[in-house]
Structures are given as C-alpha cells and as structure tokens.
C-alpha cells in the first residue's frame, strides 16, 4: 500500500497496481501534484501507458496560431533569451496557449527530435492532462501559478526522467498561455523555476507596455487627426517655451515650416512672448482673447483671436501649454454669415427699362468691375442700397462682407467707435472686451457709407486717413490695423456745394467721387412705374398671401400722374396698402391712398385754393441761413434744449442739427 501525503492530510489509495514499483513507496509532498494525480485517476488514466498528445493540423492549427499571434510575438524574444542560458544543456523552452496547445518550441536536438515523446513537441500538440497526465504546463494553467514538477511527481511514468518548470502568462488578469522549460531532472538547476517565472512576468509586462503604447499611439493619432482637421491653428509648447507640436493649419497661418519649426523656441518663430509664454509663467489661461503678433522672420503682422491653457502633470506642475488661434478675418467671416453682412440683390433684381435707369445700371456694372471708390447720388427711396448690393455681388469681393452704415443715424460722438471699433474701457459705457468696428467687419469686402453728407467734419478727416493709408486705429487703442476695404458712399446732398459751404472736406469728396452714379428719382422715369407696380403686387401677394391680380386703368393713371416725392419706396408702400385693403382681385381707385388723390386733385385744379401772398416792398428779405438759424433757436427754446426733440421737430438728423449748431456758433 502506498500513501499520498499532503501536510496534515493523508489519504490511502487502493489499487496500488496503478502506481509505480511496489518496492518503492511514493511520498507526494506538493499539494498541486496531489490534485493532479487525483484528476488523472478520476479520468481513468494509466500511469504506465505512453501518452501521445492530440495535435491540431491544417486549418485548425493555422487558426490557433493566428489567434495567438500577439502572444507568440511578445514571447519569442524572451524565449530566445531564456534558452541562451540553457543552450546545449539538454533543455527545451516551450510556449502554449491557455488550452495547453503548443505554439512555439526552442531547444536542444536531443530534447525535441531524439526524445521518446518527440511527437508531442510539434506545434499544435495539446499538453492537456487527459492526454499526457499531469505536467508543469497543464498544472500551471489549472493552478494559475508558477510551479515545478520533477521525476516521479509526474503521474505518467514515461516522464519520470524529466523536470518541467512552468509559469502562466496573463493579460488583463486572464491567463492566455504558459511558458515552460523542460529538461533532464539531473540537469535541472534550483533557479530554473525562478527564471521561467521571471520570463513569464516579463512577457506580461511587455504586453502591458505594448498595449499602453498602442493606446497612446492610437490616442496620439486621434489627437493629431483632430488637430489637423480643425480649421484653426493649434500648437503646444513645453515649460521652456519650446514648440513641441503645430498642425498644418497653424504653420500655414503663421507662415512657418512645420518640420523645421519643431524643437525651436516659440519666441524665435513668432512674437508669442508674452502672449502664450505668460501662460507658462503665470499658470493662467485665457479664452477668445484678441492679439496682434508678428512673425519674427518676415515681419508679417497677424491679428488673432486666441485661446490658451496650461498643461499640468499629476502633481499640478506646469509642463507646457496649448494654444488655439484663428485669424480675426475668419471670425469676421463667421459673423458675416451669422448676422447677414452680405448683399442679397443683384442687377437682375433691378426693375426698370427707362433710359435714365439703363444708364444708371450701365455705370453700376462698370463700377462692379473696378476697385475704385463709388459715390451714388439719389433722393431718399430711389434704391441706392439696391445698387450698392448689386455692385458688390458683381465684383471680385462678392464672397466677402458687405457692411452698411447710415452716417446720419449715429450720434456724432459715437460714429468713430462704430466705424473703427474701440478697446475695452475706452470710454464710459464701453464693453469690457471692446468691440470691432464696421471697417474691420468689412475687411476684404465692401463698406457702404449711406448719407455720407451728414458725417461730422472731424470724422471726415479720419476717414480720409483710412482711405490714404488703408489702416485704422480703434478708439483707445495703439495698434494700427491693416484693412482692405472698398468704399461705396451715397448721399442725397450736393456734396460739391457742401464743400463750398465748408460742411464737407473737398479732399475727401474727390477721394470718394471717383466713379459717380446718379440713381434717378421715380418722377423722372415714370415709364418704369407699370413694371414696378406689377412686381410689387406679385411680391406682396407672396408676402401676405393675398390674390390680387391687376390694377384698374384709372388707378394706374392715378399712379402715373403722381410725382412720388418718396420715390420707389413710397410706390411700394402705396401698392402694399392697396393690396391689403383691396376687396377683389383688381386694385381700383378706392384702394389708392387718400393723400395721393388729394394731391392730384389740387394739381389738376391748379392750386386755386392756395392763399396769395401780399407783398410789401418795404419788407426786408432774410437769407435762408438767417431763417434756418432762427428756426433752430426757436425749436431749442420750445424743447428746452432737447436735441432729439429739436431734430425731430425740424425733421433733420441729430448729426445734421449738431453741424448746423456748430456752423451758427450755437451752444
């Protein structure tokens, strides 16, 4: 009877004929060996039969090797290194997968090719307990720890001359294979198991490192792809101000070579000191802040909106900074798209076939092909802005901004900041971060200065400088900003006459009046009225959902005989009113404005009801200026000096009133 002994645990196993030589008792002191023997007994294995492992072949083997390609690739260098210590000593180094399938083997010839069980050393052989009994490989996989099985500790007597040292290999806590060193038991060194365990651990570490590197590489590729696909410039610097990364867009914006720029101090490339270097020094970032920087190699100046943030390590130390920047012009383009700073109309939208209108359109098309400044004369309501938009949309600036500003509608003290912008805190009530002006918004495009004749004299001088130098300076600022703007201006005044009176600068007049276009009043092109009426009826039907189809001959005659002091704008308003109140599908006399009918009646009566004026030859004749001055003084007295009420009562703009008061020396 033979006894298997495990520490305090003893168990007698009958049928001793299933064990080794009856003359030699078997003392088993390793718990994992005991458990292995019990499993073999339960499987009905005979210890005396030579076992041949099941072996995968063909597609099944190829599939197994493909599934374990990563493990084989990671383990091979360590297997080579491990074998270098035991070469020519009767050892073999083996690698299996989690199912004890042999994936790779390196060893001495007598171990692999000349041994009795050489068939078990082929790739694809399964070193499973049910095929070969307990071995270090399958036991290490089952026990999940490094272990050694030597000599008669093997259940199968065919392996009594061998010692095997094996250790499992894990990935993310899951066993994926095992490393094993097999040799003659009389050649085994006490440290062999330690070497195998260390090599298995090294393989695990390499898998972790490679996974981390792959994740970092993938993350880096994603970050790089993101940085490259954004339309903003993006760069990073280390805590010494050295450029560590810049995307293609950023390099293009700054005018530097991406490859040669990396590794250089950022301040040697672009004047980002103190812009981004301040972030390194102070640890404080900023969002959407405006900067003007200079390329230190070619001197080109850049106007940016920038966002920068520090990068900190786990201990909170600043290790670098990231910088995101975009040209201010791109910001302006985005604003144009959002707020609609573009022209809606083209020459095709202009209604009119009269000779006066044809000449106006002809000159406007010439202006569209030119880059010269344009001055448009025309009464209010003649469609000057329609001409401006058509010129812009037919010019080479059509894809850029068209910014309009009414010089008569802005108070004198605010017009400079409206045109040129201002820095934060430049004056009481100014926005904290400042504001860009209309000229910056129109950079690359067109600016329309309507009612240019009402621009204050002090602003005329500043506008002239902009025309001469193509540069502006914000109110409260110190930097000159380059602008590329085409100016189209319009007025209903005789500017040359205003120059003689001292109300308009003559040098500015000649700068603006390069191409002169007259927008004719409606009374001078009455042959266009019928086409305009049809156009407005169709437009208003669509707008309010009405079904007006026509206008009666009497009503049309009425419109043709009217002088239209409000020009095309007044005609459109008249038709819109008529369409709204028309009870049928045809506009009749009853739908025409009462004011127009009364005007025509008085006109046909020859103004008989107009009171006559008795002339006294002794009366003094007052000049228009004296009458104008008296009217302003009277209005100021009545409104107790309220400028807005006075301007409203006199039917002039505030700017015009200020100019008149200045002209007459009135406080």
| Residue from 348, 380, 342, 379 nearest 364 by CA | 348
Task: Work out the percent of the chain whose per-residue pLDDT is above 70.
Answer: 87
Interval 514-541 mean pLDDT: 93
Please tell me the distance from the alpha carbon of residue 485 to that of residue 473, in angstroms, as a whole number. 15
User: What φ, ψ does residue 321 adopt, rounded to 5°?
Assistant: -155, 150
User: What pLDDT score does 579 carry?
Assistant: 93
> Do the beta carbons of residue 151 and residue 185 sit within 8 Å?
yes
Axis-axis angle for helices 553-561, 529-544 (nearest 10): 120
What are the tens digits of pLDDT across the range 610-662? 544 454 555 566 677 778 888 888 888 888 888 888 887 887 777 788 878 88
pLDDT for residue 436 is more than 90: no
Cβ–Cβ under 8 Å, residues 144 and 168:
yes
pLDDT of 35 > 90? The answer is yes
Q: Are 521 and 567 in contact (CB under 8 A)?
A: yes
pLDDT tens per residue, range 74-129: 999 999 998 888 887 888 899 999 999 999 999 887 777 766 667 788 899 999 88
Q: CB count, 10 Å around CB of 601?
A: 9
Question: Per residue in 542-597, pLDDT tens?
Answer: 999 989 989 998 999 999 999 999 999 999 999 999 999 998 899 999 999 888 88
For 394-408, the pLDDT digits (tens) are 999 998 889 999 998
pLDDT at 292: 74
Q: What average pLDDT is seen over the chain?
A: 84
- For the chain, domains (ranges, CATH) are 9-199 (3.30.450.40), 230-329 (3.30.450.20), 340-514 (3.40.50.300), 522-604 (1.10.8.60), 624-663 (1.10.10)
Residue 228, pLDDT score: 72
Predicted local confidence at residue 11, as pLDDT: 31
Which pLDDT belongs to residue 316?
A: 87
Which residues neighbour 215 within 8 Å (Cβ) at sequence distance 6 or greater?
none
- Rounded distance between C-alpha atoms, residue 45 and residue 135, angstroms: 14
pLDDT (0 to 100) of residue 645: 84
Q: Is the pLDDT of residue 364 over 70?
A: yes
Mean pLDDT across 183-192: 80
């Amino acid at each position: 009877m033979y006894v298997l002994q495990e520490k305090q645990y003893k168990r007698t196993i009958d049928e001793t004929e299933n064990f080794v030589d009856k003359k030699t008792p078997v003392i088993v002191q390793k718990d994992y060996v005991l458990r292995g023997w019990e499993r073999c007994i339960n499987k009905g294995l005979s210890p005396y039969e030579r076992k041949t492992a099941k072996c995968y072949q063909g597609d099944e083997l190829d599939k197994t090797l493909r599934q374990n390609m990563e493990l084989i690739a990671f383990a091979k260098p360590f297997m080579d290194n491990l074998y270098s210590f035991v070469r020519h000593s009767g050892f073999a180094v083996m690698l299996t997968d989690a199912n004890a399938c042999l994936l790779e083997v390196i060893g001495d010839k007598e171990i692999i090719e000349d041994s009795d069980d050489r068939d078990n050393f082929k790739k694809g052989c399964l070193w499973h307990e049910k095929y070969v009994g307990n071995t270090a490989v399958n036991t290490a996989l089952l026990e999940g720890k490094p272990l050694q099985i030597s000599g008669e500790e093997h259940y199968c007597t065919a392996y009594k001359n061998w010692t095997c040292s094996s250790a499992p290999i894990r990935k993310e806590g899951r066993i994926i294979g095992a490393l094993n060193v097999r040799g003659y038991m009389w050649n085994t060194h006490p440290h062999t198991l330690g070497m195998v365990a260390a090599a298995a651990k090294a393989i695990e570490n390499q898998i972790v490192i490679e996974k981390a590197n792959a994740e970092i590489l993938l993350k880096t590729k994603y970050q790089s792809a993101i940085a490259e696909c954004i339309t903003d410039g993006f760069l990073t610097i280390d805590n010494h101000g050295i450029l560590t990364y810049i995307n293609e867009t950023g390099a293009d914006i700054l005018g530097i070579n991406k490859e040669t720029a990396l590794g250089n101090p950022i301040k040697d490339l672009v004047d980002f000191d103190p812009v981004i270097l301040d972030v390194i020094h102070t640890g404080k970032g900023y969002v959407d802040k405006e900067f003007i920087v200079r390329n230190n190699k070619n001197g080109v100046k850049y106007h940016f909106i920038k966002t920068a943030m520090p990068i900190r390590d786990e201990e909170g130390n600043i290790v670098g900074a990231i910088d995101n920047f975009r040209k201010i012009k791109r910001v302006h383009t985005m604003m144009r798209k959002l707020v609609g700073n573009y022209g809606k109309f083209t020459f095709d939208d202009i209604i009119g076939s009269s000779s006066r209108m044809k000449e106006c359109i002809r000159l406007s098309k010439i202006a569209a092909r030119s880059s010269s400044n344009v001055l448009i004369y025309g009464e209010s309501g003649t469609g000057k802005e329609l001409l401006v938009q058509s010129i812009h949309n037919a010019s080479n600036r059509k894809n850029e901004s068209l910014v309009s500003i009414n010089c008569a509608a802005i108070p004198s003290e605010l017009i400079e900041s409206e045109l040129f912008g201002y820095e934060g805190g430049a004056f009481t009530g100014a926005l904290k971060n400042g504001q860009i002006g209309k000229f910056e918004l129109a950079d690359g495009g067109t600016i329309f200065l309507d009612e240019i004749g009402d621009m204050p004299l002090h602003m005329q001088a500043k506008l002239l400088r902009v025309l001469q130098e193509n540069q502006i300076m914000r109110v409260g600022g110190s930097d000159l900003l380059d602008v590329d703007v085409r100016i189209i201006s319009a007025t209903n005044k005789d500017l040359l006459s205003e120059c003689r009176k001292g109300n308009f600068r003559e040098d500015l007049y000649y700068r603006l009046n390069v191409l002169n276009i007259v927008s004719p009043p409606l009374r001078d092109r009455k042959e266009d009225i019928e086409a305009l009426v049809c156009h407005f009826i169709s437009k208003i039907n669509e707008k309010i959902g009405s079904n007006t189809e026509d206008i009666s001959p009497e009503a049309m005659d009425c419109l043709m005989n009217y002088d239209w002091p409000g020009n095309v704008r007044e005609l459109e308003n008249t038709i819109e009113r008529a369409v709204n109140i028309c009870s049928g599908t045809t506009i009749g006399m009853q739908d025409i404005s009462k004011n127009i009918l009364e005007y025509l009646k008085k006109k046909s009566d020859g103004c008989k009801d107009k009171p006559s004026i008795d002339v006294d030859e002794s009366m003094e004749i007052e000049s228009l200026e004296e009458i104008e001055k008296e009217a302003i003084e009277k209005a100021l007295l009545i409104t107790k000096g309220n400028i807005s009420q006075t301007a409203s009562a006199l039917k002039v703009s505030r700017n015009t009133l200020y100019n008149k008061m200045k002209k007459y020396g009135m406080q």
